[in-house]
């Protein structure tokens, strides 16, 4: 019984390492959209807010804020499919190194940027990408400088999008932003942040070794019990 409890506890520990990770997904629904003209509203998978200044994702700890700067920003049901996205159009006169979308937590906390869905990255408005689009994702450790830069793949306008999974370079950062060559339409959805790294799952060989070890303990326990029984028998004769 003792060995069974030991094995159950060990197996429970192994299985616990494979548990699901916690994360926050920002789908651009239910947050506050603030426009340059002072108006504000809540995204609800219906309608689009244009002339966007900032979108506040209130469902995140610290409130992740998305600012649209040199680009023309939109948030809401941009594709008219009852699915909110954050969309940006870089003007033909926009500087290539100026952030079009800038995001960080309101109170300056660090964050992990894990993934997002790229729904548009095309130089042909409302059309297919031509492959020459140059939109870059920047990670920053201090709000000011790029610590890592990643070129985004081209993406035809609208759904379905492409999930972009990011690596260690986007963990424990203070901010991230997108820059682009002029004349590009760009949109994102389902931004995942602060996802806990799942612990490594033991290989089958590890479980086999655990089983062998417990079996060896059982054998040794059996031998010890036999020796004790023999000694008791001799002492009682």
Give pLDDT, residue 74.
95
The last residue of one of the domains, among 159, 174, 193, is: 193
Residue 117 and residue 44 in one domain: yes
Report pLDDT for 4: 42
Instruction: Looking at the structure, tell me whether residues 97 and 212 fall in a common domain.
Output: no
Are residues 206 and 170 located together in one domain of the fold?
no
Q: What is the mean pLDDT of each run of 10 residues along the chain (237 residues)?
A: 44 40 85 94 95 86 80 92 93 66 90 96 92 95 94 95 96 95 92 78 59 58 58 55
Looking at the fold, whether 9 and 53 belong to one and the same domain comes out as: no
**DSSP line for 51-98:** SEEEEEETTSTT-EEEEE-SSEEEEE-TTSSS--EEEEE--TT--TTS
Match 């417990």 to its residue by tokens: 214
Query: 188 and 227 in one domain?
Result: no
Is 119 found in the same domain as 29? yes
| pLDDT at 72 (0 to 100) | 85
Residue 13 has a pLDDT of 41
b/e burial code for range 181-212 (CB count within 10 A of at least 16 → b): bebbbbbbbbbbbbbeeeeeebeeeeeeebee
CATH number at residue 162: 2.60.120
Do 168 and 69 sit in the same domain of this protein?
Answer: yes
* Measured distance CA(163)–CA(155) in Å, rounded: 11
Q: What is the pLDDT of residue 226?
A: 62
Q: Tokens for 42?
A: 């809540």
Task: Tell me, yes or no, whether 79 and 151 share the same domain.
Answer: yes
Same domain, 140 and 218: no
- Alpha carbons 112 and 108: distance in angstroms, whole number: 13
Based on the fold, state whether residues 181 and 213 are members of the same structural domain: no
Structural domains in the chain (count): 2
49, 89, 40: which is closest to 69 by C-alpha?
89
Are residues 219 and 119 both part of a single domain? no
- Consecutive H or E run containing 186: strand 185-193
Q: Is 2 helix (H, G, I), strand (E, B) or coil?
A: helix
- Count how many residues are written for the chain: 237
User: Domain range holding 99?
Assistant: 24-193
Q: Are 186 and 99 in contact (CB under 8 A)?
A: no
Q: What is the pTM of this model?
A: 0.73
Say whether both 138 and 211 belong to one domain: no
Measured at the CA of 23, the angle between CA 22 and CA 25, to 5 degrees, comes to 150
**The pLDDT of residue 181:** 86
User: With 0-12 CB in 10 A as exposed, 13-18 as middle and 19+ as buried, what is 147?
Assistant: middle
């Amino acid at each position: 019984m003792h060995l069974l409890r030991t094995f159950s506890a060990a197996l429970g520990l192994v299985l616990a390492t494979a548990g699901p990770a916690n994360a926050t997904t920002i789908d651009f629904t239910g947050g506050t959209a603030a426009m340059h003209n002072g108006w504000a509203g809540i995204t609800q998978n219906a309608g689009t807010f244009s002339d966007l200044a900032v979108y506040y994702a209130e469902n995140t700890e610290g409130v992740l804020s998305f600012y649209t700067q040199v680009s023309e920003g939109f948030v809401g049901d941009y594709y008219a499919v009852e699915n909110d996205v954050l969309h940006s159009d870089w003007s033909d006169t926009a500087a290539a190194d100026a952030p079009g979308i800038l995001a960080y937590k309101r109170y300056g906390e660090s964050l992990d940027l894990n993934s997002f869905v790229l729904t548009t990255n095309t130089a042909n408005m409302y059309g297919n990408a031509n492959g020459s689009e140059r939109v870059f994702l920047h990670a920053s450790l201090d709000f000011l400088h790029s610590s890592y830069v990643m070129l985004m793949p081209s993406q035809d306008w609208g759904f379905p999008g492409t999930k972009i999974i990011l690596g260690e370079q986007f963990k424990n950062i203070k901010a991230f932003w997108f820059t682009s060559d002029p004349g590009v339409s760009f949109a994102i959805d389902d931004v995942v942040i602060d996802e806990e790294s799942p612990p490594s799952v033991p290989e089958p060989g590890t479980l086999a070794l655990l089983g062998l070890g417990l079996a060896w303990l059982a054998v040794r326990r059996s031998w010890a019990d036999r020796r004790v029984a023999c000694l008791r028998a001799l002492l009682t004769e």
